[in-house]
Amino acid sequence: MYKEKWTAALIQMDSREDESRNLEAAARKVREAALQGADLVMLPETVDFIGRDMRSHGKTVPGPVSELFRELARENHIYLHCGSITEAAGGEKCRNTSLLFDPGGEIAGRYSKLHLFDVELSGGKMIRESAQIAGGSQVALSKTELGMLGFGICYDIRFPEMFRIMGKHQAQVILVCANFTDPTGQAHWEPLLRARAIENTCYILACGQCGEKWNYTAHGNSMIVDPWGRIVARADKKEQILMGEIDMGLADKTRRQIPSLENIRQDVYELVEKSVKIY
């Protein structure tokens, strides 16, 4: 049985190219959120490093970065979602990997970003995330004392099929760490998050980066969206700790009221689930 009501803390950060500074700031803010009563603390995407060459910062898991977060979870007796870190993948690329630690400091969930952002923009500007990042290979969920948690990273929110699969596997809360750019964030961030919550009658906890990065502005606007699609709490574009209550009774009630997950027409169409890992 999971905890009926609990408190989430989303730590919106401005991570840059100074890894030591990023990790020191993350540790300080995790402790601050724990003191404010958070049961689960969440960090943004690539909390450890954001710069031109992500590959040079790939770390092994377990390793020094994951060990820091393990100790923070154990020390503060919280669930700690480290956002994502650059994980060494072997060869010339790294992985964009989320880790969830339980209050004892054990890894309770692990997910590597599936969908990589490759695009050619107007004026010939190219963004090729796949040039440095190796994509993951499975959808991941974690059965915890706080409920069934699912995982997504940034660009993943544009792929509702992935979130539907997590919903079908009873995800009650989906944790999305992100580093959304400001132009697309202004147009799409909120509607995409609210749609994923409504479609799957679950909470969405979306923790983002903010500030000026090396070649773009991050959108910020971390938010907690409830299963009805309502925004429970929302950050602005500055570094901050966003707190909100998660009511699992509301999640259960909404699924009874709107049984869309039960009404899927499997006889007409089917989602092919090649790999789902439940921790």
> What positions carry a catalytic annotation?
45, 113, 154
Query: Can you tell me the distance from the alpha carbon of 63 to that of 60, in angstroms, rounded to the nearest whole number?
Result: 5
* Residue 189 DSSP symbol: I
| AA identity, residue 45 | E
- Write the CB contacts of 94 (distance below 8 Å, at least 6 apart in sequence): 54, 55, 57, 58, 86, 87, 88, 132, 133, 134
- Write the CB contacts of 256 (distance below 8 Å, at least 6 apart in sequence): none
Quick one: 160 exposed, middle or buried, by C-beta within 10 A (0-12, 13-18, 19+)? Answer: middle
3-state helix, strand, coil in the chain (%, to 5): 30, 35, 40
Nearest Cα neighbor of 43 from 10, 76, 77, 78 is: 10
| AA identity, residue 19 | E
Using alpha carbons only, give the angle 127, 55, 71 rounded to the nearest 5 degrees: 120
- Give, to the nearest 10 degrees, the angle between helix 19-35 and helix 64-76: 10
Query: Can you tell me the distance from the alpha carbon of 124 to that of 185, in angstroms, rounded to the nearest whole number?
Result: 21
Query: Can you tell me the distance from the alpha carbon of 209 to that of 247, in angstroms, rounded to the nearest whole number?
Result: 26
Distance of CA 253 to the CA centre of its chain: 24
Number of helices (H), then strands (E), belonging to the chain: the values are 6, 18
